[in-house]
Amino acid sequence: MPNKQQNPKNTNATNTTLLSSSCLLPIGNAKLLNNNTTITKTLFYSVETMSLHPNPSLTPPPATPALKPWLNTTATTEPLNPMVLAMHLSDPKSKTLIPNSTLIIMDRTLLLSDELLLRILSKLPNSQQQRNSNSLVCKRWLNLQGRLVRTLRVLDWNFVLSGRLIIRFPNLNHVDLVPGSFTSSVYSSIVVSHRLVSMHVDSAWRIGVEKNLLPVETVDAGLKSLAGGCPNLRKLEVAGCSEAGISTIGAECVTLQELELQRCDDAVLGGVAGCENLQILKIVGCVRGFYESVVSDIGLTILAQGCRRLVKLELVGCEGSFDGVKAIGQCCVMLEELVIVDHRMDDGWLAGVSFCENLKTLRVQSCKVIDGSPGLEEHLGCCEALERVHLQKFQMRDRNGVGALFSVCRNAREIVLQDCWGLDDGTLSLAVVCRRVKLFYVEGCSLLTTEGLESVIEHWKELECLRVVSCKNIKDSDISPELATLFSTLKELKWRPDTKYLFPSDVGVSMGKKGGKFFKRS
Amino acid sequence: MSEIDMAVIKPEMMKPYIWLETSDGSIQQVEQEIAMYCPLICQEIIQKGMGSSKNCAICLPQRVSPATLSLILDYCHFHQVPGRSNKERKSYDEKFIRMDTKRLCELTSAADSLQLKPLVDLTSRALARIIEGKSPEEIREIFHLPDDLTEEEKLEPLKNTTDDPRIRLLNRLYAKKRKELKERERLKNVEAEEEHVDERSVDDLLSFINGNDGDPKGVKTSKNKKKNRRKKEQQQKNSSLKEASEVNKEVNGQNIRHQSAEADRIAETSNSHTEDVFAHREFDDGDIDDGIDPALKEKIDREVEDFARRLNSDWPERMQELLSSGQERKTILFTPNGNSFLRRNA
């Protein structure tokens, strides 16, 4: 009797299982597709930025010039010139030349013009292996393949000094010279990497000693060579140059729009002022342990008066104070994005930010302190046009500085706090002064609690998007009814304070769950 | 000769023809609408009035040989006809470019001189496909190119790319991605099994409870205490999670996100449920044997008695849970999974 009763129930259970399992498959597939897309994007990015080139070649052997004129003659004129052929046949070395001329006569790509061959080569996939293969076929293909290269990362400075870079790649518009600016031990397998710098060193290398840096004169000579050969340069990254070198670049490359300067000091900024069309500038003054260059108020003022068309400015490891920031705000009227990374500015610099009238994005990263002494609140001012504030990898233990920062950015509509150590409820309550917040994204702030978050959010009447990720002190059990009501009014809510507390509470009924656990225990 | 010319001219008077002269001096007649497909010939006809007679034939560029011209005219003849579908055109193009490399180069050059861009694109892609993936020696052999690079020039582009720390980092990221993909595939399989387990346990438990009502036995109270503690803790966690999940439902209001959230939760808890699979299989074996194994049967009986006693002792809480589960059913009915849920109950 009990066996007969069980059979129909088992059948129903099996059918239900199949149905539910089929429902899950599309979701899984969608995830896989997204991952593939991510991988593809990464691939594309890596290909774009990497080109590897060793030492330039020495002077060619003397036999080559003898062949060059005739080859060039045949290459330029598409039909074979019988007169030239006859002249060479009458030469006493006619035996050795006849096979060579036979090869040239049979060259099938002679029918194709340079433009046509460039078009064919540009249809090939842009991979390192394909570029190497095309470059090694013959001289003509080597030259044409070089014309297709627009972006280059230089690993060996001699490639620039010898002028070979210009001959080989005449159409460059983006050159990254930073890896080549550090003398690497070619035979060493020790790599020292920083966020900004990466180099091979030998076992005798010590942090803080600047012996792996190229001399300024060498860098300037390379820049002079580059400026003469690449008039269409748009983006340049360079380390350790002087005012003369960057002035040459500014004079020759009129279309330069993006510039990154490492080991930059006030004198170099005098040369940067000559780049009139510069829009995006990144200045790296000091990287502790690698080099210690100083960018101060004087440099910032010179920069502000010279580059009035700046749209984005990034200051990494720079000194300065209120005067420098104020000068930038007053002169660079079109500045929209300001990035401060690991700053060493004097107290009171924050008040200068309010002079940036059109600033839309303020990003502060990797700072140990914001502003030791911001001054009175009525003197701070306010960025009227500011929309976004991003604070990342930030020490927010200084409440005066945090309060001053939120006061300057009180018109912000988007606040992003990522990995801000020391951010507790009291510090976050200072953000109440920002009354127009629509998007609030907080991640990796482990001291923050649910009460602290709620006390701030309830003041933001225009809040539309809330994202809380990896804040382990924010508990689901502490959510109050008022906060739950507030959540229901949001357009977007991403609530993942601590993933280990997430359970599939919707899946199945409680009886089934207990049954499962019942057997698990036995 | 004159008689032959007379005979030929008569039937051809029906359609308009134009005269084309190739580089070797030969002149031939071509239908005008086919030849007009070439931009260069079109210009010559419209702007200069050439090609209307043998004496003022259109002189084609030197790169166009008679054989190549016939190929180009075949291509034009096919593509100038209106009404053909893209699929037909693509299949024709695929067959058209099946020729050796030399003729392909000649065709590319001739099409370029005639400014016939579609054919240039087609042949360029064909040549690129030939070149792709080949080594320098192979490319030289295919196109009969001279090996005129010096040794220094050959050494320039070669570099060991694995020295770059970025590439190493990229490879590490790829390895992570592959591991994640594999784990997700495993999780899928586990999820299917998990669903199976949950459903069977409910029905089987009910049947056993009904079948063994009159066999109570005594058990130590210490075990009961431990079980009660776990039960209470689970209830607290469940209640807080239910609040959060309900809020999420109301806020999002989108089915797709809800489904993805459920999938995430199932995936995360699948590891803890693997033990259920083994327990359930043992249970299945008991059914198949029809009680032949007395030891296993006694074990199951003890477990069922424990469950029944626990159920009786927690009856008031049980009633509350039933009421709350009823509420859950109402909310779940509005989700897209409502049908499957109803079927489970049935």
Min Cα separation B216/chain A (Å): 18
* Nearest neighbour of B346 by CB, restricted to A12, A27, A522: A12
Q: How many domains does chain B have?
A: 2
Tokens 């590439």 correspond to B167
Task: Check whether residue B125 and residue B161 sit in a common domain.
Answer: no
Task: Check whether residue B119 and residue B159 sit in a common domain.
Answer: no
Tokens 């490359």 correspond to A253
- Per DSSP, helices labelled H in chain B are 2-12, 32-35, 39-48, 66-79, 86-96, 101-113, 117-131, 136-143, 151-155, 165-211, 221-252, 255-269, 274-289, 294-313, 315-333, 338-345
pLDDT tens for the 522 residues of chain A, in order: 333 433 344 333 333 333 333 333 333 333 333 333 333 333 333 333 333 333 333 333 333 333 333 333 333 333 444 444 443 333 344 344 444 444 445 677 877 888 888 888 888 887 778 888 888 888 888 888 888 888 888 888 888 888 888 888 889 999 999 888 887 666 677 788 877 777 777 777 777 777 678 888 999 999 999 998 888 999 999 999 999 999 999 999 999 999 999 999 999 999 998 888 999 999 999 888 788 889 999 999 999 998 999 999 999 999 999 999 999 999 999 999 999 999 999 989 999 999 999 999 999 999 988 888 888 888 888 888 999 999 999 888 888 899 999 999 999 999 999 999 889 899 999 999 999 999 999 998 889 999 999 999 999 989 999 999 888 888 888 888 888 888 888 899 988 886 554 554 444 444 444 444 545 443
> Can you list the pairs that B311-315 forms with residues at least 24 positions away whose Cβ atoms lie under 8 Å?
B311/B209, B313/B224, B314/B228, B314/B231
Alpha-carbon distances of B54 from A15, B17, B26, rounded to whole Å? 82, 10, 11
- The answer to whether position B50 is within a domain reads yes
Eight-class DSSP state of A124 = S
Alpha-carbon distances of A204 from A181, A186, A208, A272, rounded to whole Å? 19, 14, 12, 36
Structural domain boundaries enclosing A441: 413-418+427-502
Q: What is the pLDDT of residue A48?
A: 34
- The answer to whether position A452 is within a domain reads yes
Q: How far apart are CA A461 and CA A478, in angstroms?
A: 22
pLDDT surpassing 80 at residue B190: no
Task: Check whether residue B181 and residue B107 sit in a common domain.
Answer: no
Query: What residue type is assigned to position A374 of the chain?
Result: P
Q: How far apart are CA A478 and CA B230, in angstroms?
A: 21
Q: What is the pLDDT of residue B219?
A: 41
Q: Which residues of A touch B277 (CB under 8 A)?
A: none
CB A297 within 8 A of CB A219: no
- Per DSSP, helices labelled H in A307-422 are 322-331, 377-380, 399-408
Task: Check whether residue B117 and residue B190 sit in a common domain.
Answer: no
- The answer to whether position B68 is within a domain reads yes
- The answer to whether position A373 is within a domain reads no
Q: What is the pLDDT of residue B159?
A: 52
Name the closest residue on chain B to residue A126, using Cα atoms.
B132
Q: How far apart are CA A170 and CA A146, in angstroms?
A: 7
Q: For residue B171, name the pLDDT band (cuts at 50, 70, 90).
A: low
Task: Check whether residue B127 and residue B162 sit in a common domain.
Answer: no
Structural domain boundaries enclosing B259: 154-313
Instruction: Mark residue A198 as left, alpha or beta (left: phi above 0; alpha: psi -120 to 50; beta: remaining).
Output: beta
- The answer to whether position B146 is within a domain reads no
Q: How many domains does chain A have?
A: 2
pLDDT surpassing 60 at residue B228: no
B264-323 pLDDT per residue, tens: 444 444 333 333 333 333 333 344 444 446 677 777 778 877 877 777 766 666 666 667
- The answer to whether position A432 is within a domain reads yes
- The answer to whether position A473 is within a domain reads yes
Q: Cα–chain-centroid distance for residue B256? A: 20
* Nearest neighbour of B240 by CB, restricted to A109, A477, A521: A477
Min Cα separation A112/chain B (Å): 5
Asked if the C-beta of A504 comes within 8 angstroms of chain B's C-beta atoms, the answer is yes
CB B121 within 8 A of CB B97: no
Chain A window 287-326: which residues touch B at a Cβ cutoff of 8 Å? none
Task: Check whether residue B78 and residue B158 sit in a common domain.
Answer: no
CB A424 within 8 A of CB A418: no
Min Cα separation B7/chain A (Å): 39
Asked if the C-beta of A378 comes within 8 angstroms of chain B's C-beta atoms, the answer is no
**Greater pLDDT, B162 or A320:** A320
Q: Which residues of B touch A507 (CB under 8 A)?
A: 198, 262, 265-266
**Hey, what are A58's tokens?**
């020495």
Asked if the C-beta of A92 comes within 8 angstroms of chain B's C-beta atoms, the answer is no
Q: What is the pLDDT of residue A310?
A: 94
Q: Which residues of A touch B343 (CB under 8 A)?
A: 12, 15-16, 19
Q: Do A495 and B166 touch (CB under 8 A)?
A: no
CATH number (domain holding residue B98): 3.30.710.10
Task: Check whether residue B298 and residue B175 sit in a common domain.
Answer: yes
Q: Do A130 and B133 touch (CB under 8 A)?
A: yes
Task: Check whether residue B112 and residue B178 sit in a common domain.
Answer: no
Task: Check whether residue B104 and residue B178 sit in a common domain.
Answer: no
Q: What is the pLDDT of residue A234?
A: 94
Q: How far apart are CA A51 and CA A45, in angstroms?
A: 12
- The answer to whether position B337 is within a domain reads no
Asked if the C-beta of B323 comes within 8 angstroms of chain A's C-beta atoms, the answer is no
Q: What is the pLDDT of residue B293?
A: 62
Site from B318, B344, B345 to mutate, A interface, most A CB atoms within 10 angstroms: B344
**Last-in-domain residue among B97, B131, B165:** B131
Q: How far apart are CA B274 and CA A33, in angstroms?
A: 27
Eight-class DSSP state of B162 = G
- The answer to whether position A276 is within a domain reads no
Tokens 């907080």 correspond to A442
